DNA sequence: CGGGATCCGAAAGGATACTG
DNA sequence: CAGTATCCTTTCGGATCCCG
């Protein structure tokens, strides 16, 4: 198991900036949870705020702006009365899904001392992993 | 591809702590790069320090301790002269590989303006993906 | 409802120096 | 080589108030 069955490719990883950017982007405090909560479809500000406990409105708007700047989420304004604003994942954002799910799966399998009572199989569509 | 092939599971993500922990763990400043550099096999402190530009020794030892505490890396001391210390991924850490590679792929595809000259297919043993 | 602006304490990160 | 200790700067995150 510890034996490296991989290739003897010694000349790997001369440091990768894009990977670094990506991992630090989704690693930001609430970003992962926000993206994860958006996997289902469009959401309004309050919805996201509501299903991520501990997240403040300031942080949410900050994260949302970052994600928008990265082209991961799109912001759509419906000029009704009052205005309704919906956030959705772009294609780039949607492709993060497999990563989020993979990470969810890993976290569930190895979470602390094997606590299978979080999302494991019920709460999240991690079944496809 | 943009079409959500997922289930119509609306009642997802009532917030997941283990996912949160995981994403914030590997999202810490250099953790992703460190794990990524260890995918090849055992490395010594200086090796990791060397192939992650910008990483300071203090942060490396800090991250290494965190990863060790999480059971992601193992530390082995060889009492030669002088002592040689090697860090390797545990099974738990090795399973992060698919996630790291997936994130690498995503980052490469969407990195800024599609710059395919980073690691994409050459520098890293991502072939197994 | 959907945010923006500001203030401030906490925490993370970097630089440097020193040790076994 | 493989770290630890200290200091100091930057950033993050929470609270509060305010606006359209």
Give the per-residue pLDDT at B118.
47
Contact A46, A82 (CB under 8 A): no
Please tell me what DSSP assigns to residue A21: H
DSSP state letter for A124:
S
What pTM was computed for the model? 0.81
Chain A residue numbers with beta carbons less than 8 Å from the beta carbon of B110 are 71, 92, 95
Confidence band, pLDDT 50/70/90 cuts, at residue B116: very low
CB B86 within 8 A of CB B76: yes
Instruction: Give the pLDDT confidence of B40-77 residue by residue, as tens digits.
Output: 899 999 999 998 999 999 999 999 999 999 999 999 99
More confident residue, A63 or B1: A63
- Chain A and chain B share a number of CB contacts under 8 A equal to 203
How many Å lie between the alpha carbon of B8 and the closest alpha carbon of chain A? Answer: 8
The structure tokens 């030669």 sit at B80
Six-digit token pair at A57?
A: 């409105």
Nearest neighbour of B20 by CB, restricted to A33, A91, A94 = A33
- Whole-angstrom distance, CA of residue B22 vs CA of residue B26: 6
Question: Over chain A (129 residues), what is each successive 10-residue block's mean pLDDT?
Answer: 38 71 91 92 92 92 94 93 93 92 91 46 37
Phi-psi group of A98: left, alpha or beta (phi > 0 → left; psi -120 to 50 → alpha; rest → beta)? alpha
A29 and B24: CB-CB below 8 Å? yes
Q: Where are the alpha helices (DSSP H) in chain B?
A: 17-27, 31-37, 45-51, 57-69, 91-94, 97-110
CA distance A13 to chain B (A): 6
């Amino acid at each position: 198991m510890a034996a490296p069955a991989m290739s003897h490719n010694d000349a790997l990883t001369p440091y990768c900036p894009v990977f670094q950017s990506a991992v630090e982007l989704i690693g930001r405090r609430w970003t992962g949870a926000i993206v994860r909560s958006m996997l289902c479809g469009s959401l309004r500000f309050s919805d996201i705020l509501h299903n991520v406990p501990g997240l403040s409105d300031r942080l949410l708007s900050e994260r949302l702006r970052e994600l928008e700047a990265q082209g991961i989420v799109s912001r759509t304004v419906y000029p009704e009365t009052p205005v309704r604003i919906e956030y959705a994942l772009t294609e780039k954002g949607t492709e993060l899904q497999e990563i989020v799910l993979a990470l969810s799966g890993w976290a569930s399998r190895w979470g602390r001392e094997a606590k299978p009572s979080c999302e494991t199989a019920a709460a999240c569509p991690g079944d496809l992993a």
